[in-house]
Amino acid sequence: MFGTSEELFDFIASGLGKFAEREGGKFSMQSGRKREIGFTFSFPVRQTSIASGILIKWTKGFAVSGTAGRDVVACLNEAMERQGLEMQVSALVNDAVGTLAGARYWDDDVMVAVILGTGTNACYIERMDAIPKLQSHVSSSGRTIINTEWGAFSKGLPLTVFDRDMDAATINPGEQIFEKTISGMYLGEIVRRVLLKMAEEGALFGDSSPEKLSTPFLLRTPDVCAMQQDDSDDLKVVGSILHDSASVESNVSARKIVVEVCDTIVKRGGRLAGAGIVGILQKMEEDSKGLVFGKRTVVAMDGGLYEHYPQYRRYLQDAVTELLGSELSKNVVIEHSKDGSGIGAALLAAANSMYGHDL
């Protein structure tokens, strides 16, 4: 995450090489052909073609040097050459776009895709006539995919002192604010900051302020999730996580407060994510002049946060239902598309193959 561009892409190419080795004799290419890769790249790029894109900036805590302003496909192709791999990228795919493609392959009603994992993003299918700058472009379907990069939305969000202090301490202060309020990389850190304040000013854990709790990103979102799942009488799991991660000794009363803090932060994150989905659906409804809410519309979800955090999923769904109302929300199906971005990238790579398909 903090090395050079060459180190990062050599690491990826090495992983691809090991994966190909494990395949053994299950799959072989015709002589002279290279294996084709669908490259899921979940960072903002200026996409110049189906198989090229210039990195605009790193997000999600990455600070790899020498990549911004370069074609990330060329970076990976060069790394695969250095590793001696007979492979090449035939499709560069944003993770949200990959999820949309993968889910829509099976279901024509998929119109939106959202990633909720370490980071977050969303994309949706838009009418070409609703995009002023693309009026000169011709599309056989009359539609295209808009990658919103909604993690970068940073205006008008309800922020607390904990959000502002965390943002100031990141490597990209003032940027990716929506991502910093709803995604998996940051929820645990917000909880940690709240607990530290309560320990220092409200003696949450007794007279001593736990020094280790001052360590940034000490609490991870999986820890927060595990604490929220604890249904034991004495909240033993909560106590264990506080002790093991932060060297904090706690009583049952303090543990109950910790769970409440976790729930508050996760509830806000899930509801903001749900509001984002509703915003996209309302935009599509306006552009189509009423053709979205009157029929089944599927939102494909991928990412570890959404997959593994049941309370987050529930709060997101509740917000969508609340904002749309019970009648309209009946037609909106929010569906988990496991590994959707990778599957979608493979499908798009196959569709853009330089070799003919023998079907």
Known catalytic residue: 95?
A: yes
Per residue, what are the HEC states of the chain?
Answer: CCCEHHHHHHHHHHHHHHHHHHHCCCCCCCCCCCEEEEEECCCCEEEEECCEEEECCCCCCCCCECCCCCEHHHHHHHHHHHCCCCEEEEEEECHHHHHHHHHHHHCCCEEEEEEECCCEEEEEEEEHHHCHHHCCCCCCCCEEEEECCHHHCCCCCCCCHHHHHHHHHCCCCCCCHHHHHHCHHHHHHHHHHHHHHHHHHHCCCCCCCCHHHHCCCCCCHHHHHHHHHCCCCCCHHHHHHHHHHHCCCCCHHHHHHHHHHHHHHHHHHHHHHHHHHHHHHHHHHHHCCCCCCCCCEEEEEECHHHHHCHHHHHHHHHHHHHHHCHHHHCCEEEEECCCHHHHHHHHHHHHCCCCCCCC
Known catalytic residue: 60?
A: yes
Tokens, residue 61:
């805590």
Among candidate residues 10, 26, 34, 95, the one labeled active-site is 95
Among candidate residues 18, 26, 34, 60, the one labeled active-site is 60
Residues with a catalytic annotation lie at: 60, 95
